[in-house]
Amino acid sequence: MNKRKNLGKFLKPLVNDPKLTNEIIVTDENKKKIKVHSVVERPLTLFLNDQEIVTMMTICDYPKYLAIGYLLNQNMLKRNDKITGIDYDEEISTVVVRTKIKTNYEEKLKKKTLTSGCAQGTVFGDIMEEFENITLSKTAKIKASWLIKLLKDINTTPSLYLKARAIHGCVLCKKDKAQVYMEDVGRHNAVDKIAGYMFKHSITANDKIFYTTGRLTSEMIIKTVKMRIPILISRNGFTSWGVDLAKKSNLTLIGRTKGSRFLALSGHQRIIYDKK
């Protein structure tokens, strides 16, 4: 892997990619026909070496990052593993990740749990074992003033959500700067794409902030902790188990963010209340 480095230019959604949306004719409440954009979702089948792992419904904007991130977040790819190749075939909607070591996850694939995420995400049975042993950065901080700026910048960035709706977004941030903005029909896919990007580009996680447009469910907390990101925020609500897991892992969890308002749910020691 390459030497660790900081992110530079803000990676934004591919709003103008014609393959990601379709223009359709609909009828509004006044019986007027209008043109609107709809998000295009496609099946993507993931192979790890010679084994078929899963078929995901995705917008297929960053299939290689999605594949790497999915395998990382399912414990099928370790942080120190060597990827020898990634092949994406758009024609047959398949991505193959090749590793230096042999892999066989036949038994693991039998032990999967359907999650509460949109588009039916899955997690596998051994994930909680690693989750319980992860220690998040104790020195990471988030200022309330950063949160206000981040929300404004994210909400005004051109996105597929603003263009077509029906999609979730996740953003990797450092201090008050958004750095990587990924979208997909399921928020778990957007998370996995950021995880894949971080792995591919050797991005450190201990000083990062993660933002999601979706609910703060157990799956979101588990994936954020597995990515070693110490702070997770959302404009949306939260589940009881999600909050319990955040407290257990010492993750700073912030929900229902809007303007200068937010609810701190766990990890309060990282929050600096500097707004006036």
The reply to whether domains 42-125 and 142-272 share a CATH topology is no
Where do the DSSP E strands lie in 133-275? 142-143, 168-174, 177-184, 209-212, 231-234, 252-258, 261-266, 271-272
H or E element at residue 57? strand 51-58
pLDDT (0 to 100) of residue 105? 75
Amino acid at 92: I
Taking the CA atoms of residue 106, residue 129, residue 140 and residue 115 in that order, the dihedral angle to the nearest 10 degrees is 60
pLDDT per residue rounded down to tens, the chain (276 residues)? 344 444 558 999 999 999 999 999 999 999 999 999 999 999 999 999 999 999 999 999 999 999 999 999 988 998 889 999 999 999 999 999 999 888 777 666 666 654 545 444 555 556 777 888 999 999 999 999 999 999 999 999 999 999 999 999 999 999 999 999 999 999 999 999 999 999 999 999 999 999 999 999 999 999 999 999 999 999 999 999 999 999 999 999 999 999 899 999 999 999 999 976
User: What is the Cα–Cα distance from 204 to 172, expressed in whole angstroms?
Assistant: 11
The span from the CA of 97 to the CA of 83, in Å, is: 7
What is the pLDDT at residue 107?
A: 65
- 240 Cβ contact partners less than 8 Å away, ≥ 6 residues apart: none
Report helix, strand or coil for 137: coil
CA distance 15 to 17: 6
> pLDDT, tens digit, for every residue of 81-123?
999 999 999 999 999 999 988 877 766 666 665 454 544 455 5
Residue 86 and residue 98: Cα distance in Å, rounded?
A: 6
Class level of CATH domain 42-125: alpha beta
pLDDT attached to residue 2 = 41
CA dist 220 and 138 (Å) reads 20
Structural domain boundaries in the chain: 42-125, 142-272
CA 106 from chain centre, in angstroms, equals: 26
Maximum pairwise Cα distance, the chain? 61
- CATH for 142-272? 3.40.140.10
CA distance 87 to 81: 17
